[in-house]
Amino acid sequence: MLTTQRLMTAAKPNVHPSGIRVRTYRTSEQASLAIATEIASLIRKRRAAGRHCILGLATGSTPLRVYSELVRMHRQESLSFINVVSFNLDEYFPISRESRQSYFRFMQENLFDHIDILPENVNVPDGTVSAAKVQAHCHAYEKRIAEAGGIDLQILGIGRSGHIGFNEPGSDRGSRTRLVQLNAMTRSDAANDFSGIANVPTQAITMGVDTILSARRVRLLAFGERKARIVQRALQTSVSKQLPASFLQNHGDVEFIVDASCAGE
């Protein structure tokens, strides 16, 4: 059990026997500010070196405070995103970009509309392509990531199904960006957003497990009691495609950033 002092400062990560570093903050607010600071510092370091910073971004309620802090840093601390290229993890399929639940729209409203990232440097899987073209779109998405030089830092949430991106249980270690079926728990968790489970799409486009594991740094954020059990399982079960987040145990630079209520278990 972490002491209160450790929870407050989270000065050092706790290295779990799985090899995953776990940083526990007292609140999700503190955790979000810490991760925003890490992102800002990487962007500035790359800029000073005359290089792009390639960010892998996530949607959902978990990273919202990270994005609002990045917006604040842009406004008040002249953090520029001019050298940032972003790749989002996933998108519902099919979905229009104007739709309230579209991840494209989520990213515009919560981050991109408020910072100076160049529109041509923003990449979100396209939920509007035709079924016939979706596979080619997924290949092209992978190609763009490779051409950008690979992802420097990938932000992840975790679903109660154990998914990362929309890689649901059963996803292969070697999977790449593709069209997937959404798991029943994931659809039920999204039911509120869609005013009823019947309206939740059954499919999505997601970066694959291998796409995520190819990122140079991976930071998984999990807040609140409802994520405690799945986070514990991701750390403790042996690596298995039944729990896609467990694949992170084999990544060399991964941290789980959790708050005290998530760390409770």
Q: Pick the catalytic residue: 69, 142, 168, 255?
A: 168
User: Beta strand 21-25 with 14-15: parallel, antiparallel or unpaired?
Assistant: antiparallel
- Asked if 60 interacts with ligand PGA (CB under 6 A), we say yes
Applying CB under 6 A, among 157, 201, 208, 244 the residue interacting with ligand PGA is 157
Beta bridge partners, 260, equal none
Told to check if 162 binds ligand PGA by CB under 6 A, we report no
Task: Take residue 73 and report the two structure tokens written for it.
Answer: 């840093």
Q: Does 10 bind ligand PGA (CB under 6 A)?
A: no
Residue showing the smallest CB distance to ligand PGA in the complex = 60
Q: Which of 16, 3, 11 is nearest to 246 (CA)?
A: 16
Q: Is 208 a binder of ligand PGA (CB under 6 A)?
A: no
Q: What is the DSSP letter of 258?
A: E
Shortest distance, CB of residue 256 to ligand PGA, whole angstroms? Answer: 13
Token pair for 142: 């992978």
Asked if omega into 169 is within 30° of 0 (cis), the reply is no
Contact letters for ligand PGA, residues 79-98 (x by CB under 6 A): --------------------
| Least distance between ligand PGA and beta carbon 193 (Å) | 9
Q: How far is the CB of 91 from ligand PGA (least distance, A)?
A: 13
Cα 76 off chain centre by: 25
Nearest to 88 by CA among 65, 114, 110, 116: 110
Give the whole-angstrom CA distance, residue 206 versus residue 221: 18
Taking the complex as a whole, the smallest distance from the CB of residue 54 to ligand PGA amounts, in Å, to 20
Question: Per CB under 6 A, which region of 30-38, 146-154, 156-164, 211-219 contacts ligand PGA?
Answer: 156-164
Active site residue 168: yes
Residue 153 near residue 45 (C-beta atoms within 8 A): no
Torsion sign across C-alpha atoms 25, 188, 229, 264: positive
Candidates 158, 180, 245, 258; binder of ligand PGA (CB under 6 A) is 158
Q: Which residues bind ligand PGA (CB under 6 A)?
A: 60-62, 157-159
Catalytic residue ranges: 168
